[in-house]
Structure 1
Amino acid sequence: MREISLDNIEKYSKNYETRNLKTLQNSVQKNGINNATFNTKASTLDQHIYSLDIKTGKVSNQKQSGRCWMFAALNNFRHKLNKDFNILDFELSQTYTFFWDKLEKSNYFLENIIKTKDEDIDSRIVRFLLTTPQQDGGQWDMLVSIIKKYGIVPKYVMPDVFHSTSSVKLNSLLNKKLRQAAVKLRKLNENKASLEELVKEKELILDEIYSFLAVSLGEPPKSFDFEFEDKDGKFVRDANITPKEFYDKYVGIDLDDYVSIINAPTKDKPYYNTFTVSYLGNVISGRDVKYLNVPMDVLKKLAISQLQDGYTVWFGCDVGQSSDRVLGLMDLDIFDINNSYNINFDLTKEEALDYCDSLMTHAMVLSGVNLVDGVANRWKVENSWGEEPGKKGYFLMTDAWMDRYTYQVVINKKYLTEEMKKSLEKEPIVLKPWDPMGSLAFMK
């Protein structure tokens, strides 16, 4: 092991003096890196105008919670519902799916604690499970599992409450309870308890968690009256409908028609193969997380095809990279950091995945694209951070940014080539729990 010598420090200091960075130093210390390196020229080129623009209405707001993946999916559903039934800015309940996801993730964690009961407490997999027993984030296939089991409801039936919009304390207590449960289950196992006894204890724990969630979020309705007035003033009532009946009747999208397409250009993930991630999920016996990995140009062509038919696209990306949250710009050139500091910070997409510099952090909706001779140069993004950021909540993503930081889209299988459909039938390669493709969309 080699220390930094004082001679090295002296050399570093002299080199710093020769780089003429004093003006930048003053600006950064006064205004911060992003403000000091903001590229005005790049921002003026980012015009919120698109040759293909699906009008989707008012942007929703997930507030201080990591429910972006739910918002993105439910936004796709409400776009169809608003169009089919001539409704204005109708919204579906994210609190309803949030409740069931929390309960199902709790069961998923406890089942995995039982599964790993004979592993050492300091084994990597047990430490992985205990680090975050559950969280707000999720994946498309996880929401599919929730909807198939529980359906959905309008937002007015189960509206946002304090801890669905500000989930830090709820998560803290729920994770404490789940770690306490892990202690109980592992001690029971150490004392030679049977599997039947462990499952019985698990059921008692889940009973308490259900009550905790019901107090914190409200208890989900078993049925409700669906009432709305369309844009022409026509009133409609559908009485005593269940959440599953509501989904089937008013949304009616066959979720089995949609698949997750990813771009992960790393050597361990050859293109046109399918992948899944061990210990990633929420509903036991639900839909497994499954990805088809394709080149980026193929991923974009699929997204454009779906948009051209008038359907928005759920997508996952690393939103915090090279983006301005206030202006709603996702642009590789928006901050000129390399030239300002005269230091190169760049990694390729493959390097960033392999070396833990990037992964999917946020899910949003593609609702438009600007095509020049059939080639995209910018994309319209419906976010779920309210109407203040960007253009009334809509973000602009340059095509170069999409290439670099977009990892996943959800596409109807009808847009896939025959080669891709055959690839989907392959047995998925199982990735380790800590693989970057096991990341969950959670950004607030």
Structure 2
Amino acid sequence: MTTLESLSGAELEGMRDRFEANPANRLAMNAVTSSGINPVAHNYDRARTLQRRFSVTVDNGKVTNQNRSGRCWLFSSLNVARFVAKQNLNIDQFEFSQNYAMYFDKLERVNYFMRDTAALVRAGEPVDSRLMRHMLGDVMGDGGQWTMAMNVYKKYGAVPKDFFPETASSKNTGEMDTQLRRLLHTAVAHMYAEPERIDEIVAQTVEAGHRMLTIHLGEPPKSFDWEWNDKDGNFHRDGEITPVEFWNKYVGSADLEGYVCLVDDPRAEHAKGKKIGIEHLGNVAGGDPTEYLNVPNQFMKDCVRRVLSEQGIPVWFGADCHPMMDRDGGAWATDLYEYDKVYDVDFDLDKEDRVRFGDSAMNHAMAFVGVDVADDGETTNRWRVENSWGEELADKGYFTMSDDWFTEYVYEVAVPKALLPAEYQAALSEPATMLPAWDPMGALA
């Protein structure tokens, strides 16, 4: 076993002396201990030049608020859908029930997890294997992907928020998720202890999950009476309609279910123009698999620009939202904070190394609703983003992203398949290269 070398008193004293020898260190310490790192490192010159004006803007109205939950992928996908619905209904304000979408996502995810782990237990997967430890540790979080959201809407549709409003647990999912996680951990333990009862344990656990979700989130409607006033003052009545009928009638025209997920996996061993997938990642058993087409980042930008400019519809995307973010001001730029100058440390990892060494992965989903395009019609300068953190932040909840930040920290976009050239269209019919469940490209928004 390798013996690790201890930090010696002489080394510590030397570091103290060198720290004291540079007056900039004490100045930085005084400022950061009083105000925190971000106000001190904030790049004033960059912040004031990151304008909130865009040559193309898609107005989606008042932003939504996911509160203390990780439902950003559902909120952002429904924000794209509500834009379509508002056009079809001829109304200014509308919001889908995110609680309804989460209810069925989690119910389906209980079933998916139980059947997936049951197959592993039957196959002799050790309980302490890397795969099983990952699955047990990652189960029942709130995060997800575009394809997973579409699986829910295709099977269960969607309802206006009034018909299935938020609850205490939908707005703050922590305790509910903890109890669901305990349910699934207990079930897996019982499957290992009593393999002859696996089918019975699966059925009992799915029913228990349904019961727990209904207690926390309420009982979702099977149908509802839909009537509304449009923005011209006209009254409309659809009568009784099911959630699936509502989704198909007011969102189906956009064919969101047919969209393709493009990702920028920067690792050299994963070729561009090829599909990748993540093992054991999904929510609806029998639904569409969670797969992506790996493409250059610039191609992703071009597709988003075209959708905004030519089709006038928001675009769902996933990113690593934390680096270089001014949360209150609503801004992202790669040089928005000068941490390197405050610390005198060279943070020189590129996108590939950040992914490879665990420094960056997708963790938040939002929607592009604007872009500033240069006079050449192709070069993009900055992007307008509809977030789901409420309207108290940023520009009434809308954020501004520099183009270079898109390059470095945006990992996924969902766009119409028709935008893909022939070689990419052909690649969609090829089998995906499957990556292990713990691969960073499987990170959920």
Q: What TM-score do the two structures reach when normalised by structure 2? A: 0.96
Alpha-carbon deviation of 1:120?
Answer: 1.7
Between 7-16 and 396-405, the greater mean CA deviation after superposition? 7-16
- Residue 125 (structure 2) pairs with residue 119 (structure 1): yes
Map 1:244-259 to 2 at 5 A. 244-252=244-252, 253-259=254-260
User: Is the Cα–Cα contact under 8 Å of residues 43 and 338 in structure 2 kept in the other structure?
Assistant: yes
CA distance in 2, matches of 1:170, 1:317: 26
CA distance in 2, matches of 1:399, 1:203: 49
User: Is the Cα–Cα contact under 8 Å of residues 84 and 250 in structure 2 kept in the other structure?
Assistant: no
CA distance in 1, matches of 2:138, 2:317: 24
* Secondary structure of 2:161 counterpart: coil
Q: Which residue of 2 is the match for residue 200 of structure 1?
A: 200
* Secondary structure of 2:272 counterpart: coil
* Secondary structure of 1:64 counterpart: coil
Q: Which residue of 2 is the match for residue 240 of structure 1?
A: 240
Q: Which residue of 2 is the match for residue 298 of structure 1?
A: 299
The list of structure 1 runs, each at least 4 consecutive aligned residues, that deviate by more than 6 angstroms after superposition, is none
CA distance in 2, matches of 1:116, 1:18: 59
User: Is the Cα–Cα contact under 8 Å of residues 274 and 290 in structure 1 kept in the other structure?
Assistant: yes
Match 1:97 to one of 101, 119, 123: 101
* Secondary structure of 1:156 counterpart: helix
Q: Which residue of 2 is the match for residue 34 of structure 1?
A: 38
Q: Which residue of 2 is the match for residue 152 of structure 1?
A: 158
CA distance in 1, matches of 2:401, 2:444: 21
Q: Which residue of 2 is the match for residue 431 of structure 1?
A: 435
User: Is the Cα–Cα contact under 8 Å of residues 89 and 230 in structure 2 kept in the other structure?
Assistant: yes
1:178 partner letter: L
Match 1:359 to one of 342, 358, 361: 361
Q: What is the aligned-residue identity percentage?
A: 38
Map 1:2-401 to 2 at 5 A. 2-20=5-23, 21-117=25-121, 118-189=124-195, 193=196, 197-252=197-252, 253-309=254-310, 310-373=312-375, 374-401=378-405
CA distance in 2, matches of 1:421, 1:381: 28
Alpha-carbon deviation of 1:91?
Answer: 0.4
Alpha-carbon deviation of 1:422?
Answer: 1.4
What CA deviation, in whole Å up to 9, does each residue of 1:97-153 have, x standing for no partner? Answer: 100011111111111221121222211111111112211100011111111111111
* Secondary structure of 1:430 counterpart: strand
CA distance in 2, matches of 1:136, 1:356: 21
* Secondary structure of 1:148 counterpart: helix
User: Is the Cα–Cα contact under 8 Å of residues 316 and 368 in structure 2 kept in the other structure?
Assistant: yes
Between 340-349 and 269-278, the greater mean CA deviation after superposition? 340-349
CA distance in 1, matches of 2:199, 2:107: 16
Alpha-carbon deviation of 1:255?
Answer: 3.5
User: Is the Cα–Cα contact under 8 Å of residues 132 and 175 in structure 1 kept in the other structure?
Assistant: no
Alpha-carbon deviation of 1:288?
Answer: 0.2
1:37 partner letter: A
User: Is the Cα–Cα contact under 8 Å of residues 91 and 155 in structure 1 kept in the other structure?
Assistant: yes
User: Is the Cα–Cα contact under 8 Å of residues 369 and 385 in structure 2 kept in the other structure?
Assistant: yes
* Secondary structure of 2:328 counterpart: coil
1:351 partner letter: D
What CA deviation, in whole Å up to 9, does each residue of 1:178-217 have, x standing for no partner? Answer: 111111122111xxx1xxx422221122112111111110
RMSD: 1.1
CA distance in 2, matches of 1:213, 1:85: 31
CA distance in 2, matches of 1:244, 1:95: 16
What CA deviation, in whole Å up to 9, does each residue of 1:330-377 have, x standing for no partner? Answer: 111211111222211231000000000000000000000011133111
* Secondary structure of 1:121 counterpart: coil
User: Is the Cα–Cα contact under 8 Å of residues 109 and 134 in structure 1 kept in the other structure?
Assistant: no
* Secondary structure of 2:33 counterpart: helix
Listed as ranges, the gaps of 5+ residues in structure 1 are none
1:299 partner letter: M
Aligned pair count?
435
User: Is the Cα–Cα contact under 8 Å of residues 364 and 384 in structure 1 kept in the other structure?
Assistant: yes
Change (3 A) 1:256 1:102: closer
CA distance in 2, matches of 1:334, 1:30: 20
CA distance in 2, matches of 1:170, 1:237: 37
Alpha-carbon deviation of 1:256?
Answer: 4.1
User: Is the Cα–Cα contact under 8 Å of residues 262 and 412 in structure 2 kept in the other structure?
Assistant: yes
User: Is the Cα–Cα contact under 8 Å of residues 154 and 257 in structure 2 kept in the other structure?
Assistant: no
